[in-house]
Structure 1
Amino acid sequence: MAIYKSVSEPPTNLDIYNVTSRSFGISWMKPTETHSAENYGYVLQIKEDQDKCVKEIIYRCSDCVGSFQISNLNGLCDSTVRAEIGKTKQELEGQLTYPVSLNPGIAYTVTVTAINDGGRGYPANETEKTIEEAPQVPYGITMSEIGTTSCKIYWKINGPKPGKTNFTVMLMADSPATSKEFTVTGFDMRSYLAEGLEAYWSYNVTVTAATNVGAKTSNRVHFRTRPTAPGKVTGLKITEAPGGIYTWMQISWRAPAILFWNSIIKEYSLDISTSDRNATTQSLSHENNENHDYTVVVNVVPEETYTFKVYATNSLDMKGEVSTVVKQAPAGVPVNIEDTLQVDIISLHQMKNVEDRQFTVTLVQDFFEESTNGQIQASGLIACAKDCNFEGIKILADFNTMDNWQDASQRGFTLYRVTNPAWMDKMQTQCTCGRSKRAVTNVEYTVGSDECSDTPQKQYCNGPLKSGTSYKLVAVSCTNGGCLLSQVYGPFVTAAKEQSDDGRNCSTESIIIGVVLGFTNLLLFVYAGYTTLIIRRNRADKDGLKMSTSNKYDRKSQTYVNESFMVGVAGAGGSEDLETFSNVAPGRESETEYSRLDDNTREDRTTYDIIQSSRQY
């Protein structure tokens, strides 16, 4: 029959006392029952986190009859942490103590078992945590794997572990970048990869070790991240037609935000391209002032679409991120050559073919074709006889929705559009295309020349005018950017209908009257000459002595008659003009002309009266 040996009961009054960050004391008393004649000793084990043996002490009875072999004991720690202490039988009966050196902030489990003939007995257990302490100062800060936005940071720290330790890696950035802070948990951690940094930026690094008791911080170490291509420029703006010049566009921008310089910027480039032209590039040097405005004015063609690309280039010739704007150059109101060339667009002095329903004017063709500020979309003449308010025509839609001839003629020729969209084609085929001294093309256009009875109601037609009426004309030229109106020209007056109908009759009657009066004057002249000759012959017979004198007065009288003779000529308007073949100023009174007869010719008064009477016709 087998005999089972009982193991000892657990030691009593196990206690942990005088706990510090680096040690505590252990005490215990003998078991209540060892189930053996002798207590051979104790096994004291100190474990970290209930698993790892930190210390093992075997107490052996130095004067007992019985004994034990360590190799026969179960559950022992590794011999590297084991120590033996000899105690007398009497000492083993009393309280035993053991001070142990430990590390801060660690929970230790203390186990004590008594040894008898059956081996290790039941255990007595107690757990206690040492006090944490402030860590040592981290040192040896180094950086490796430095990139454009990241860096790996290394450090060192001396033990022992002071408790639950956190490391704070601080990267203090130059303004205006944001400093970065990273926390690493665990005393054994010795490196950290910091990410999310700014490219080509200066940082100062520290590492702080901290426990619940205190913290210690390393010295600062400086480094800079690596450069990369610059970011986008800021404030990119396209100004249309700066200064009202529609053949210009202004491109302006500022440097990238300083955090996106990413390197040392050398210059800025502006690429300009269109759908049918290769890109051209302009460059501007970088200015250190981050608020500097970079401005480029480029020549453009109105209504053409341009692509503008702006980017920075750094000292390593890295091309930065491109900012792109696609913009159509706007059209503007056409250039007014009235001002630039100082010419009249509609001449008041070259009005021709004036009839009761139409008249012809001379225009400057260049006004309607001036496309510097954009392609001409519509042009022409507008006219009015009353209610002439030209201020409502600002844009192309205003011009294209004006009243036509049909509307205006029913209201007494209020403001209306004279020309249709194809009027320039007709005008060009009729023009003489002569060049003036101001290098402009003059053409003729007849206002009121069309018959509009068959023209659709909503179309524009150059219909007949009203007779005897005064008209004002304005030239109009429109782009998609607006309409240019010339100054107001006029008045242009159509012929009165009565004059036009009776003109031919009046002209014929005037010619007949002129011929009759001329013939009558001729008869009177012959009669007066004949009478004068008869009178002088009679006087010569009476006084032969005065013959020479009489002849002399004959010549004077003849000269007088020639100087006084006037012939009536019928004018084109039916009135009778008097052409005077005389050196005497016209408009003298009859007394002055009569006084030119001297005393020897006063008998010729009859002849003078005849001449005077001929002037009254």
Structure 2
Amino acid sequence: MGAHVSVRFLFTCTSCPGYSLFLSASSCGAGDKLSVVILPADLDSYTYTVATMNPYINYTVSVLAVNDAGDGHPNTTYVITDQEVPQSPSTLTAAVVSSTEIRVSWTISGPEPGPTTYTLNVIPDSPETSRLETVIVFSTTTLLVTNLEEYRTYTFNLTASTIKGTAAYYSPTLPSAKTNAAAPGPVENFVVARPDGPDFTTVTVSWSLPSVLQRNSDITKFMFAHNATGGNLNSAPELISVVDSVTRTLVVVPQTTYYIEVYAVGTDFSLTEYVGVKSTKIYHAPPGGKHISKWELTSLKSITR
């Protein structure tokens, strides 16, 4: 007989809830059906292509013949669609969390293209070097970047990749954020030394700014304190304006111990002050020449008479 036979394809998607399945279907539920009418001449061998399925989806596909008596027995197979290159991430943003943390967030369009790795490029100001952070879950669209330097600006860029390839980096203006300020680190090149020569009553104290990655704020001043044995270093520290390198000369008493302290003070954009790490040195002033005893002094007086 020359009657046409209807062949029904049953597509059951097991891993794509919420996504369009094929053709004009609006959902991806078990039992979605697509009927295709074929000629008797094509019954022995027939190929049908479904062109609008999503990547990396598990499908159960059943093929069965249908006539006036009803549906025949299905022939079932299982298939997973191929992976593809991801879309580029979009709406990349950066928000400061603390003095050492920034949270980066993004969005990405389309269904999951396969096991996806996000690669975040963390770009600091000099003298730091860039580093890469990775996230290996497609649905994760935020990353807390930690172990950053205090009061430093970081810029971020992001891409996504699967085994099929890597998307272009995020292309609009890159987001940046500056970590919160913190207390400065110790001053650099802190030295206490007596000048060469016979002068035993002076000592020079020198230091320079903390290293770039230890400033942690906008350095506004140095505090300089010194006192002899038993003195209170914090009683009246001297405020010194900020320059790259500072040298001070102290007048000391021979055979006396001195405690000398220096630290930096910084502020942030709100002018909150941050007291830096204090650096302290102990200086023992040497004797100031030969000591003359009472006996020697008496002998000298006798000789001069």
The answer to whether TM tops 0.5 is yes
| Aligned equivalents of 2:139, 2:49: Cα separation in 1 | 27
The question of whether the paired residues in 2 share the 8 Å contact of 1:43 and 1:56 is answered with: no
Q: CA deviation at 1:310?
A: 1.0
When residues 93 and 208 of structure 1 are mapped into structure 2, their CA distance, relative to the original with a 3 A threshold, is: closer
Within 5 Å, which residues of 2 pair with 1:424-503? 443-444=301-302
When residues 215 and 165 of structure 1 are mapped into structure 2, their CA distance, relative to the original with a 3 A threshold, is: same
Structure showing the higher helix proportion among its residues: 1
Report what 1:68 is aligned to. Answer: none
Asked whether 1:310 is paired with 2:262, we answer yes
State the secondary structure of the residue aligned to 1:259.
Answer: helix
Unaligned residue ranges in structure 1 (runs of 5+): 1-38, 58-76, 335-366, 369-378, 380-421, 432-441, 447-617
The question of whether the paired residues in 2 share the 8 Å contact of 1:50 and 1:109 is answered with: no
Residue among 55, 62, 75 paired with 1:112: 62
Q: CA deviation at 1:145?
A: 3.8
When the two structures are superposed, what TM-score results if normalisation uses the length of structure 1?
Answer: 0.41
Residue among 48, 53, 60 paired with 1:102: 53
| Aligned equivalents of 1:40, 1:98: Cα separation in 2 | 13
Asked whether 1:286 is paired with 2:242, we answer yes
Asked whether 1:322 is paired with 2:278, we answer yes
The two structures, once aligned, show a CA RMSD in angstroms of 3.8
Residue among 142, 167, 179 paired with 1:191: 142
Asked whether 1:299 is paired with 2:251, we answer yes
1:397-443 CA distance string (max 9 Å, x none): xxxxxxxxxxxxxxxxxxxxxxxxx845xx65xx8xxxxxxxxxx62
Query: Which structure has the larger Rg?
Result: 1
The question of whether the paired residues in 1 share the 8 Å contact of 2:89 and 2:160 is answered with: yes
Structure showing the higher strand proportion among its residues: 2
Residue among 162, 187, 190 paired with 1:236: 190
Report what 2:10 is aligned to. Answer: 44
Report what 1:172 is aligned to. Answer: 123
When residues 79 and 191 of structure 1 are mapped into structure 2, their CA distance, relative to the original with a 3 A threshold, is: closer
Q: Which amino acid aligns with 1:112?
A: S
Q: Which amino acid aligns with 1:224?
A: K
Asked whether 1:275 is paired with 2:229, we answer yes
| Aligned equivalents of 1:111, 1:52: Cα separation in 2 | 19
Report what 1:159 is aligned to. Answer: 110
Report what 1:216 is aligned to. Answer: 168
Q: CA deviation at 1:193?
A: 0.6
Q: CA deviation at 1:179?
A: 2.0
Identity of aligned residues (%): 25
Residue among 218, 232, 238 paired with 1:264: 218
Within 5 Å, which residues of 2 pair with 1:210-609? 210-211=161-162, 212-218=164-170, 219=172, 220-279=174-233, 280-287=236-243, 292-315=244-267, 316-334=272-290, 368=292, 379=293, 423=295, 443-444=301-302
The question of whether the paired residues in 1 share the 8 Å contact of 2:116 and 2:160 is answered with: yes
| Aligned equivalents of 1:223, 1:97: Cα separation in 2 | 56
When residues 86 and 158 of structure 1 are mapped into structure 2, their CA distance, relative to the original with a 3 A threshold, is: closer
Residue among 145, 154, 157 paired with 1:203: 154
Unaligned residue ranges in structure 2 (runs of 5+): none
The question of whether the paired residues in 2 share the 8 Å contact of 1:173 and 1:202 is answered with: yes
1:145-180 CA distance string (max 9 Å, x none): 432111001112221333332222112111112223
1:572-617 CA distance string (max 9 Å, x none): xxxxxxxxxxxxxxxxxxxxxxxxxxxxxxxxxxxxxxxxxxxxxx
Q: Which amino acid aligns with 2:79?
A: T
Q: CA deviation at 1:120?
A: 7.9
Report what 1:181 is aligned to. Answer: 132
When residues 443 and 201 of structure 1 are mapped into structure 2, their CA distance, relative to the original with a 3 A threshold, is: same
| Aligned equivalents of 2:12, 2:20: Cα separation in 1 | 6
Q: Report runs of 4+ in structure 1 exceeding 4 Å deviation.
A: 39-43, 48-57, 77-81, 86-94, 113-117, 119-123
When residues 244 and 146 of structure 1 are mapped into structure 2, their CA distance, relative to the original with a 3 A threshold, is: farther
When residues 303 and 99 of structure 1 are mapped into structure 2, their CA distance, relative to the original with a 3 A threshold, is: same
Within 5 Å, which residues of 2 pair with 1:46-61? 46-48=12-14
| Aligned equivalents of 1:272, 1:113: Cα separation in 2 | 92
| Aligned equivalents of 2:186, 2:259: Cα separation in 1 | 16
The count of residues paired between Structure 1 and Structure 2 equals: 285
| Aligned equivalents of 2:188, 2:43: Cα separation in 1 | 88
Q: Whose RCO is larger (CA < 8 A, sep 6+)?
A: 2
| Aligned equivalents of 1:256, 1:295: Cα separation in 2 | 15
Q: Which amino acid aligns with 2:302?
A: E
State the secondary structure of the residue aligned to 1:163.
Answer: coil
| Aligned equivalents of 1:140, 1:51: Cα separation in 2 | 25
| Aligned equivalents of 1:320, 1:154: Cα separation in 2 | 33
| Aligned equivalents of 1:209, 1:56: Cα separation in 2 | 26
When residues 44 and 240 of structure 1 are mapped into structure 2, their CA distance, relative to the original with a 3 A threshold, is: same
When the two structures are superposed, what TM-score results if normalisation uses the length of structure 2?
Answer: 0.77
